[in-house]
């Protein structure tokens, strides 16, 4: 069956972080706290976060290994309630999060070949969708608009929006239902083996692993690339499991059009 639809991850796939996150998280945390303080919520980070340095560090730790998404809105409201600030208006929670994300969004940069690749795929008749794991749907939607990506995508599904994280097959089913296609007609492009590749593989979607932003000793050398009609052969203990083995491995987004053309 020919591939008609291509799904993309967002972070570290279409966009990337230009600076290390720890200092950014600290700056974002200050912006969040300032909003809360103006609302009369005196917040001491040391007592609020315990062993974690910032609110976002706390949130990521709470996510754990499950596939149920915990939003930052829920996390912040629950954190404030545990510290005695109950029934904080949703508008205040949202304003604090908006201030925080206004900082983190500045650290995301569009990949230089993203728009060109999306344009080529669109011109060739591929239908495009996005599946993003995120603890805040609004943040992703703003990033999509910030980098003018929305015109290329028919569907944008976020874990915060549907309550389910990749690799849970249910979030992939939402995209399939939108496009009304079978998994065999779809390819998923993403940087994370445990979310993007495993999620695609377990439902029968063709998986394309992009390694440009993957870090670690296993990825210092350029990976072996094979087209989708071959089972991949990246020689690394990083994914000996069949479920984590991508159907194709690429370094840059602009490799996708020729990769798909080769298996058309």
Residue 47: pLDDT band with limits 50, 70, 90:
low
pLDDT at 121 exceeding the cut of 90? yes
Bridge-based pairing state of the strands 127-132 and 108-110:
unpaired
pLDDT at 201 over 90: yes
Average pLDDT score over residue span 54-69: 88
- Per the prediction, the chain carries an average pLDDT of 89
Residue 228 pLDDT: 37
What pLDDT digit, counting tens, does each position of 88-101 carry?
999 999 999 999 99
Residue 111 confidence (pLDDT): 98
Measured over the CA atoms of residue 178, residue 259, residue 16 and residue 60, the dihedral's sign is: positive
Rg (CA), the chain: 20
Please check whether residue 131 is in contact with residue 153, taking contact to mean a CB–CB distance below 8 angstroms.
no
pTM: 0.90
pLDDT in tens, 222-237: 332 333 333 333 334 4
Q: What is the pLDDT of residues 6-37, one digit of tens each?
A: 999 999 999 999 999 999 999 999 999 999 99
3-state secondary structure of 192: coil
Tokens read off for 66: 């499950």
CB contact at 8 A, 136 and 126: no
Longest dimension (CA), the chain: 61
Q: Which two tokens stand for residue 86?
A: 């109950």
Q: At what angle do helices 137-146 and 90-104 cross, to 10 degrees?
A: 40
CB-based contact 264:257 (threshold 8 Å)? no
The residue-averaged pLDDT of 120-124 equals: 98
């Amino acid at each position: 069956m020919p591939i008609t639809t291509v799904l993309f991850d967002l972070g570290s796939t279409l966009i990337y972080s230009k600076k290390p996150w720890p200092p950014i998280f600290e700056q974002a945390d200050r912006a969040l706290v300032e909003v809360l303080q103006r609302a009369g919520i005196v917040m001491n980070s040391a007592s609020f976060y315990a062993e974690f340095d910032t609110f976002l560090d706390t949130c990521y730790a709470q996510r754990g290994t499950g596939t149920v998404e915990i939003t930052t809105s829920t996390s912040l409201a629950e954190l404030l309630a545990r510290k005695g600030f109950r029934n904080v208006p949703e508008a205040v929670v949202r304003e604090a999060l908006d201030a925080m994300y206004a900082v983190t969004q500045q650290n995301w940069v569009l990949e230089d070949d993203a728009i060109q690749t999306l344009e080529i795929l669109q011109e060739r008749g591929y239908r495009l969708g996005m599946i993003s794991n995120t603890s805040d749907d609004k943040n992703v939607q703003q990033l999509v608009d910030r980098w003018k990506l929305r015109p290329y995508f028919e569907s944008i599904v976020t874990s915060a929006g549907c309550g389910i994280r990749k690799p849970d097959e249910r979030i992939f089913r939402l995209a399939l239902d939108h496009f009304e296609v079978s998994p065999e007609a779809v390819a998923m492009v993403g940087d994370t083996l445990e979310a993007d590749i495993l999620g695609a593989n377990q439902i029968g979607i063709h998986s394309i692993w992009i390694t440009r932003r993957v870090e670690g000793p296993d990825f210092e050398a350029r990976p072996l690339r094979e087209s989708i009609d071959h089972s991949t052969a990246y020689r690394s203990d990083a994914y000996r499991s069949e479920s984590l083995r991508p159907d194709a491995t690429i370094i840059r987004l602009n490799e996708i059009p020729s990769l798909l053309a080769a298996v058309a």
